[in-house]
Amino acid sequence: MESIAIEVNNVTKFFKISRPKGISNLAKSISLKNQSFKVLDSISFTVNKGDVLGIIGTNGSGKTTLLRTIAGIYKPDIGSVRINGRLSPLLQIGTGFQKEMKARENIVMNGMLLGMPKKEIENKVADILKYSELEKFSEMKLKHYSSGMRTRLAFSTAMQIDPDILLVDEILSVGDRNFREKSYRTFTSFKEKKKTILYVTHNLESISKLCNVGLLLDKGKQVIFGKTEEIIEKYNNINNKNN
Amino acid sequence: MSDILESKTISSFKKKVSLVFNFAIFNIQLRYKNSYLGIMWSALEPLLYFSVLYVVFTGIRGRQEDFAIYLITGIMMFHIFTRGTSGGLASLTSHSGIIQSLRIKRDFFPIFTVTATVLLAFVDVGVFFALMPVFQFTPSITLILLPIPLILLFILVLGLSYLLSIVTVYIRDIQIIWPIFTHTLLFVSPIFWKTNEVQGILLSIQKINPLGQIIELAHRLVIDGTIPPINDWIYTTLFVVGIFVVGYLVFRKLEERIVEEF
């Protein structure tokens, strides 16, 4: 068995600055050349199986873009990402859900998109609803759900497909304290099963509690990759400087 | 990568088919959510088109033999086309949430949307057959070839769905123009007029109108009871396959960066 779960190799990603649309901007948009800026600049690191990697950085430092690139949603312009195992992304909460459909139907759709056969996910619906503590609302349309409820539903569904690698983008802060503690417990049990978690957050306390490695990004650049304590210290320095 | 939509084994092929089929069903359910008559609209839409045009044109021209069945043949094809392409057009933009949060092959979206169109087409075909006894129409044996123009129509819808869905991501104006365009097709296709009654511009448009060509093939099979000459089949098939190939290639070329456009 290979011990590496994720290998990120020299990943660089550009975003186009979109040209202005609309008739009044026509002249401007033709005269402007396509501009782009670097969102990620030569990021390289390796995550071993069983690692919990905390990713921190100020707003706009490229954390979400990095997770999306690892999830295969964005394609890197330079460099490569190698994944070893079944990956379950938990990004931008609730966007994979259909607002007009009931929670139960959404679980089935989501599970199927994550690669589960229909029968299997249908058998798990009850468990998922129980874990998310949303049994009472299983027949309610998603548009009537609060953002916390949607988060709980997405988290529970993603955990049930039993992934080897979990990508989590700053979502647990939405849940209430009870649910947050429950999800930390699930994370810990995940860790014990030698599974891998990538975790983006602004909550330093949870980083030092959960993660054994950390990555600090600043303006698209990799500042350091290493022990969580060092990373948190460096992050505080950056924040102090900006103040 | 253990992505289900990328591996090539048989069992994963079965899984893909089941995924597409299930999402087609979800798509149909979603389409009629929040309406009282639900899926019945699927039959009512072509019937309403039919009733209006039938009343107006028998009013203008008097009763013509087999006009009702001539009309419903064209409306059936037109309705499948319009519903199919408008659904296909929105297939990427209306699922931007899923595309932004999961790794899925992009053509999953136009494919399951067109699958929904094919499933709903059974309702249109049902309406078509239901009207035959109402207007005391006895079909000839050539009717059994009707599935061929229908298949051509589905290929056309899929090709246009590829093209429209991806171009709409970059140029949103398409979603405003397309309904006007399809509405124009109702008038410039042989739906309530016959190709031997018109001349000039209408006839020229008909030559380059793939939907009109497909409708014309269906009319010959249903109304005339003759099999159209082989050249007509070849012309229409090449036309439709050409549109499909162009749509597919444009989609492949542009699909990579669509996430950044949402």
pLDDT at site A20: 67
Output the pLDDT for position B4: 43
Which chain B residue has the Cα nearest residue A106? Answer: B26
pLDDT, tens digit (0-9, with 9 covering 90-100), for B168-197? 999 999 999 999 999 999 999 999 999 988
The interface residues of chain B toward chain A in range 116-155, judged by CB-CB distance below 8 A, are none
* Contact with chain B for residue A119, Cβ under 8 A: no
B 82-101 residues with CB below 8 A of A?
96-101
Answer yes or no: is pLDDT of B8 > 80.
no
Between B2, B23, B103, which is nearest A71 by CB?
B103
Name which of A8, A114, A16, A151 is nearest A66 in CA terms. Answer: A8
Instruction: Say yes or no for a CB contact (<8 Å) between A112 and B34.
Output: no
Identity of the residue numbered B66: D
Confidence of residue B221 (pLDDT cuts 50, 70, 90): very high
Domain membership of residue B166 (yes or no) is yes
Q: How much is the pTM?
A: 0.88
pLDDT of the residue at A29: 64
Contacts of residue A236, defined as CB under 8 A and 6 or more positions apart, other chains included, come to: none
Mutate to test the interface with B, among A19, A86, A98, A200 (most CBs of B within 10 A): A98
Type of residue found at A193 = K
Q: Is A163 on the interface with B (CB under 8 A)?
A: no
Q: Report the number of distinct structural domains present in chain B.
A: 1
Distance CA A46, CA A20 (A): 39
- Domain containing B151: what range? 10-261
Look at residue B7 in the predicted model and tell me its pLDDT: 43
* A228, A207 contact by CB (below 8 A): yes
Instruction: Name the residue facing B260 among A15, A100, A109 (closest C-beta).
Output: A15
Q: Does a structural domain hold residue B14?
A: yes
Asked if residue B1 is part of any domain, the answer here is: no
B227 in any annotated domain: yes
Helix (H) or strand (E) holding A166: strand A165-169
B23 touches A: beta carbon within 8 Å:
yes
Q: Is the dihedral of CA A68, A209, A110, B97 positive or negative?
A: negative
Q: B4: which chain A residues are within 8 Å (Cβ-Cβ)?
A: 115
> Is A113 in CB contact (< 8 Å) with chain B?
yes
pLDDT digit string, tens, across residues A183-194:
888 888 888 888
A68 and B97 in contact by Cβ < 8 A? no
pLDDT tens for A14-60 read: 987 766 677 777 666 666 666 788 899 999 999 998 899 999 988 88
The size of the A-B interface in CB pairs under 8 A is: 72
- Is residue B2 one of the residues assigned to a domain? no
Rg of chain B over all Cα atoms, to the nearest angstrom? 19
